[in-house]
Amino acid sequence: MMRIVVKIGTSSVTDEHGAINDQAIATLCDQVAQLREQHHEVLVVTSGAVAGGVAALGLSQRPTDTQTLQALAAVGQSQLMNRYNHYLAARSLIGAQVLLVPNDFIDRTQYLHARQTLGRLLELGCVPIINENDAIASDEIRFGDNDRIAALVAHSVGADVLILLTDIGGLFTSDPRTDPTATLVASVSADDPLLSVHAGSAGTARGSGGMASKLSAARIASWSGVRTVIASASRINVLQDALNSVGGAGTQFLPHNRNLSARKLWIAFAAQHVGTIVVDDGARNALITRNTSLLHA
């Protein structure tokens, strides 16, 4: 049995008009059901609430002011969850909505509560459907895209695999939408500086996360010991292929072989950074090379 976190972006759950794409969600639920039949545990991180609200209210374009965006998220989230519940129920599965805000990861107590709740939902046989709580999220402190949420969820629940579904087939040597010579990068090792890998893709008109945010998420997952796959949501049986490392099924980011404690991972990637510590070369070497503490035992 494996524990799998699947993130699907706005461009993959909405159509060209920005409306929620029922067929895309139905297909995803089919694949989730297939993994569940193989006794895997699956958590879904979904985008699409704001885009769904734009379409539901018949707006011609996505607004830019915070209050309207939050209102649209409230409208779209209920419709989005209704689709997931419908298609999961058709496969005898129960979805469980979980809306998160950054403080659920920043505050250690909230972080532990969220982890316990997600774990209990999996024990009960539910499929957690996770999104940022855009309707109330503060503009000053928010995730901004669900790639980071997916990586933090994968870290918190001890996932084996994080699958980031998008509208292209993985990480390419250049943007395949504009460069016909672009080739797929099959694998990225944990020792590669993931954030320095060229990724010129920004978010789409309907979403907020581009390839750069996915590389950042893959870095978090790698340090958490989680294998990450960036793959196309439109690929047939993409979840099964990504799980089984089928060639051409996306780009794999291998987990780091240096194990950090759960608390160190939380400090590194979830806790809010509010200051800076300057150390000399000797202290730096002790921390990074020898993995030792600067404090006396």
What are the tens digits of pLDDT across the range 9-53?
A: 988 998 887 889 999 999 999 999 999 999 999 999 999 998 889
Residue 275 lies in a domain: yes
Q: Find tokens 């830019």 and name the residue.
A: 64
> Are the beta carbons of 229 and 163 closer than 8 angstroms?
yes
Residue 84 lies in a domain: yes
pLDDT of amino acid 173 = 84
State the Cα angle at 247 between 241 and 251, rounded to 5°: 85
Q: pLDDT (tens digit, 9 = 90+) per residue, 245-267?
A: 898 899 999 998 766 666 776 67
Instruction: For residues 202 and 194, give the distance between their C-alpha atoms in angstroms, rounded to a whole number.
Output: 16
Nearest to 71 by CA among 59, 82, 60, 81: 59
DSSP for 230-252, written as a single string = EEETTSTTHHHHHHTT-TTS-EE
Instruction: For residues 253 and 194, give the distance between their C-alpha atoms in angstroms, rounded to a whole number.
Output: 9
Domain count, the chain: 1
Residue 34 lies in a domain: yes
Q: pLDDT (tens digit, 9 = 90+) per residue, 96-148?
A: 999 998 888 888 899 999 999 999 999 999 999 999 998 887 665 556 678 99
Indicate which CATH number applies to the domain containing 96.
Answer: 3.40.1160.10
Domain range enclosing 37: 3-288
Instruction: For residues 209 and 59, give the distance between their C-alpha atoms in angstroms, rounded to a whole number.
Output: 22
